[in-house]
Structure formats: C-alpha cells, structure tokens
Amino acid sequence: MLNGLWLGFFGMAALAALGRWLIGGDPTVFAALVESLFAMARLAVEVMVLLFGTLTLWLGFLRIAEAAGLVGWLARLLGPLFRRLMPGVPAGHPALGLITMNFAANALGLDNAATPIGLKAMRELQRLNPDPVTATNAQILFLVLNASSLTLLPVTIFMYRAQQGAHDPTMVFLAAGAIRRVKVYECFIEGAKEGFDIAKNLLPYLVAMLCAVGVLRASGALDFVLDGLRWLVHAGGWDARFVDAMPTALVKPFSGSAARAMLIETMKSQGVDSFPALVAATIQGSTETTFYVLAVYFGAVGIQRTRHTVSCALLAELAGVVAAIAVCYWFFG
C-alpha cells in the first residue's frame, strides 16, 4: 500500500507537470520539481537533527512516567469504562487490563509501548472468540478505539513544531518519578536509547515522503486538489481556511510517514503557527493509520472476516478530523 501511495505521488506530480508544460506553456515547472527534491531532502535532514535530540529527551522522560506508574494509573481509571463498553468480556479478564493499558499508552504518546500491548490484548480477546476467523464486537470496538487514536502528549508533533520555529511548541510535562522513588536516571537512559533508535530508523522514510510531497506541491497537483475542495467549501458558505490542512487528513489512514510529511510541508509552506498548520498538527494527533492497524492487529490473530470494522474505523477517523477542525476554530479561529 505504501509503495503504491509513494509512486502515486510522483505519478500525479509528473502528470501535473506535463499539463503545465504542454497546456499552460510553463517549462520552468521541471526545474521547480528538481529544486523541490533537493529542498525537501535538506529539510528532512534538518528535521532529523532536532529529532535525534528531542525524541531522545522526551522518550527518556516518558519512560520515567511509565515506571512511575502513570500509565498504570490511567489504566485503572479507564477500567470501569471498558467493562461497560465490552459486556462480552468477563469482569477481571486480562484483556480489559491490556486494553486500558494500550489506550493509556496511546494517550501519552508511547506508540512503541502501545503496539505490543495492543497485540497482547487482541490475542486475549481472540481466546473469547467462538469463531476464530470472524471478528467479535469487542475486537471491532478495540480496533475502532485505536483508529480514533486520541493522543494527549504527541511528542513528535511537538518536535516538528519546535523545528519549524513555533513560539510555543508544547506544554510543560513533569514526571512523578522522583516521588515514586523510581531510578530516574536508569529509566531515562533506557527510554533515550529507544528514542535514538526510533529517530535513526525514521530518516529514510522521512526523506522519501518529504521528497514525494515536495514534487507534488511543486507540480501544482496538490494545489489543484485543494483548490477544488476549497471551491466546494466556499459553495457551501463555509470558512475554507482549514482546507490547506486536508492533505494530512487524506493520507493518514494509509500511511503515517506520508501524513507526517504532509504535516511538515504544511508548516513549511503556510507557516508553523498558521491556522492550517495548527489544524494539520491537531489532526495528526487525533487520527490513526487505520489500514495499518487493521492489518497488524487482525493479522496477528488470524481474523479473516472483519465484518463492519473498516467502515466503523474510517467513521472514527472522520470524527477525529471533524473534531480537530472544530477545536481549532474554537481555540485559534
């Protein structure tokens, strides 16, 4: 899926560039494409320089928060809610604890912790499944909750905003490690090593997607799509300032790296504190790579008939996008 998406970006850019040259008589478009490729490759490296330090720092702090019991506290807090939402899961079943831990880890931005916990939760739910190849209501709800993916501490978004010069990229986060007598230094180093590894592995994907998005913008293809959407919004009598944030929303269900590239490109082209950039950042923290989550979680337990999971997950994704736009108009509009 990611291969097709990446190739599609370049294909759309090539078609749009040919159109501007043959129909619009603009031969400079090809030079703009080449310039955009180098500019976006340079931007990817600039982002990575800050990413190494910032992600290492924040994941170190987050590991302290995890060791201090903050994730566990949130899990206990949310436990009664999930028992009501999933009546098919017996009270006290291990799946409920794992589901709440997964949800809490996602809320704190602990993506690498949330995924293995989520896979364990799915396996526990599968033990209650009378038909091993068909998703149960509890499994579907669990996937939809992951698709909504509300993140209260989106570390990478803070980093991207800081790299682009945002005046206030994040709020202050204080760990409770010292109070709980956690070995804070050892926990920090453990989390920092994880952050360094994540940053190192991210660079090739960031370069690839930023270059693809760059040529899409330089060719005029992205502007063509946004202009069409903007016309529809104006025709409905609505404010269209949010339209420039829509590339992030449109590609997020398919690829997290593509959505990340779209977010950075929006910050670069519109301004890091512009309304579209704020909307795009909020959307990034309010949505999930739905098709990836479905493939990994259901594939891990052998589910073949997903029933209405895809439609419900995409509806949750849409709700996250609409809510993000509404909240940004409320706070920044």
Q: What is the DSSP string of 248-279?
A: HHHHTTT-HHHHHHHHHHHHHHH-TTSHHHHH
Asked if residues 104 and 82 have their Cβ atoms less than 8 Å apart, the reply is no
Neighbouring residues of 85: CB distance < 8 A, sequence distance ≥ 6 = 141
| Residue corresponding to tokens 């590991």 | 63
Asked if residues 100 and 76 have their Cβ atoms less than 8 Å apart, the reply is yes
Separation between Cα atoms, residue 167 and residue 324, nearest integer Å: 21
Highest-confidence range of 84-88, 170-174, 238-242, by mean pLDDT? 238-242
User: What is the mean pLDDT of the segment spanning 17-26?
Assistant: 87
In this structure, what are the phi and psi dihedrals at residue 110, rounded to the nearest 5 degrees? -90, 65
Asked if residue 226 has pLDDT above 80, the reply is yes
- 3-state secondary structure (DSSP) of residue 291: helix
Of 271, 279, 212, 215, nearest to 245 by C-alpha is: 279
Does the model's pTM come out above 0.75? no
Separation between Cα atoms, residue 182 and residue 186, nearest integer Å: 9
Q: What is the pLDDT of residue 320?
A: 85
Of 144, 200, 159, 165, nearest to 62 by C-alpha is: 159
In this predicted model, which residue has the larger pLDDT, 166 or 71? 166
Domain that holds residue 45: 2-332
N- to C-terminal Cα distance for the chain? 36
Least confidently predicted of 12-21, 146-155, 263-272, 291-300: 146-155
User: What is the mean pLDDT of the segment spanning 177-197?
Assistant: 63
pLDDT tens-digit profile of 100-156?
777 777 776 666 567 667 778 888 899 999 998 899 999 999 988 877 766 666 666
Q: What is the pLDDT of residue 227?
A: 87
Neighbour count for residue 237 (Cβ, 10 Å): 6
Of 86, 220, 58, nearest to 145 by C-alpha is: 86
User: What is the mean pLDDT of the segment spanning 312-325?
Assistant: 87
Q: CA separation (Å) from 42 to 49, 50, 228?
A: 11, 13, 30
Separation between Cα atoms, residue 153 and residue 277, nearest integer Å: 18
Asked if residue 46 has pLDDT above 70, the reply is yes
Count of domains forming the chain: 1
| Residue corresponding to tokens 């090593």 | 193
In this structure, what are the phi and psi dihedrals at residue 274, rounded to the nearest 5 degrees? -70, 160
Asked if residue 216 has pLDDT above 60, the reply is yes
pLDDT-derived band at 177, boundaries 50, 70, 90: very low
Neighbour count for residue 138 (Cβ, 10 Å): 24
pLDDT-derived band at 171, boundaries 50, 70, 90: very low
For 317, the token pair is: 């994704």
pLDDT tens-digit profile of 234-282?
898 889 899 988 888 887 876 677 787 888 888 888 888 888 888 888 8
Q: CA separation (Å) from 320 to 100, 101, 178, 279?
A: 20, 21, 35, 11
User: What is the mean pLDDT of the segment spanning 195-222?
Assistant: 74
